[in-house]
A and B are shown apart, each in its own frame.
Chain A
Amino acid sequence: MLKGHQTWECNEKPVILSSAAIGGPFESKGALADDFDILHEDVWLGQDSCEKAEKKMLEQACEKAIDKAGMKKEDVQFFLSGDLMDQIISSSFAARTLGVPFLGLFGACSSSMEGLAVAALIVNSKAGKNALAAASSHNISVEKQFRYPTEYGSQKPPTAQWTVTGAGAALLSLDGEGPRVTSATIGRVVDMGLSDPYNMGAAMAPAAVDTIQAHFRDLNRDPDYYDLIATGDLGSVGHKIAADLLRKHGIEIAPEIFTDCGILIYKKDQPVMAGGSGCGCSAVVTYGHFLNRIRKGELRRILVVATGALMSPLSYQQKETIPCIAHAVSIEM
């Protein structure tokens, strides 16, 4: 049901029956290693290309989530997935393996929450009994497509971020026990004129702020309604800007509940500059770490605001500024 301008409230409160998070070797050394279902030692997953490795991770995340719910692939009516590769090949190819009716999504790194929001809408409207939402990214395949070869010796600035090798999936249903998706705020595309692909956090921060503001306005809520508000992959630079920008706009979120998936996922001593990024970042942190904490009872209400930079390698070479988007989904126990 529409609330305000851009927020859905899910009256039926779809349940996240199960979720899965898959990570790579760098993530296994990170701060949230315990929250992954599978951690791979080999960044190639024994495949002969990193693109295949990403697809494999996504498949594993989906199969694991379906398996944990005690279901079969046939029980899932719709599969929604997104990633960062051209023509979202990781998602489409994983959907080919799964054989579940599929809607491909692209919202750059916001695809994770875009998928969860649409899956919740499908289940809530009873268009499908069970829907699976997933997202993935792979450090090598994404760097290869968007930046330089991984072994190329370029000096990264302190604002650069490290693309997470990971895939996350969540299975939604109407009946069952578990954390519930209660609302979703769909973001507008916001472009504040930044064009540096090595500073995506600062480019995406206004989009996150716009969506967070819209969420509180539409639902007439205060930030203290939530135990945790997490942005997707703003990193330490973008997250600080977002916090300051929110304060400037009169929304005060207590620093202890306002965090960022890109900051949480790695340890301080890992050489990731400003933090993690990529579709996999918000997906594994939400579907792994946050949902585990909700299930343990440490958190009751969270808001995840996944941020995405909607640029292509071509657009920034042509000196276009970076349009950004953010989608917020609230999950409550």
Chain B
Amino acid sequence: MSNKKIKKLTPTQQEYKRFAKERVPKRPVLLNTIRAFIAGGIICTIGQGVQWMFMTYFGFSEVTAGNPTVAVLIIAAVLLTGFGVYDHIAQWAGAGSAVPVTGFANTIASAAIEHRTEGYVLGVGGNMFKLAGSVIAYGVFSAFVVALVKITFKALGGI
């Protein structure tokens, strides 16, 4: 927690916070990082294998193989979410399964499944981007900013 927030607390609250902190088990950050590296690496290697398959057997180029590869990973992640496996993988893998495109597919699929009981329009449709929405909003905005930077550099005679 930031220093600014801690300052708002009374001395008793600050004291308790320290008291509790000494007794709370820490997130195993190093272990989580190693697991994320392994799991993320495996997912990306599978993706690489799929891309290679599309290029070798289906005549895609390195650029055009990207779309079907992503589609395969998304379908796999959605199926794993639906069968109730993905959240167990994620508990072990952490960021390793959250950062690749499979994590994004999981956010949408899990929200859609969860809100199925509220109907297709208000439930599934209205809630499926509950978690993914901010990724899309800030993803599009950052792409826009990057594009502006690139245009500016070009206009100034750069790359």
Contacts and interface: CB of A to CB of B under 8 A. Distances in A.
A48 to B, nearest CB: 7
Interface string B15-30: 0110110011111100
A159 B24 contact: yes
Nearest to A191: B13
Contacts of A159: 24-25
A149 B117 contact: no
A168 to B, nearest CB: 25
- Chain B binding surface, main DSSP class: helix
Contact of B89 (A144, A149, A153, A206): A153
A156 B89 CA distance: 12
Interface stretch (A4-12, A59-67, A192-200, A258-266): A192-200
A206 B84 CA distance: 36
A326 to B, nearest CB: 15
A155 B94 contact: yes
Interface residues of A, number: 35
Contacts of A194: 16-17, 20
A153 B103 contact: yes
A151 B25 contact: no
B71 interface: no
A320 to B, nearest CB: 11
Interface stretch (A220-228, A237-245, A275-283): A237-245
A65 B125 CA distance: 41
Interface in B69-100: 81-82, 84, 86-87, 89-91, 93-95, 97-98
Interface stretch (B53-61, B107-115, B135-143, B146-154): B107-115
Contacts of B82: 151
Given A51-B117, A193-B10, A151 B23 contact: no
Contact of A151 (B19, B20, B24, B106): B106
A158 interface: yes
Contacts of A97: none
B4 to A, nearest CB: 11
Contact of B110 (A148, A158, A240, A241): A148
B91 A156 contact: yes
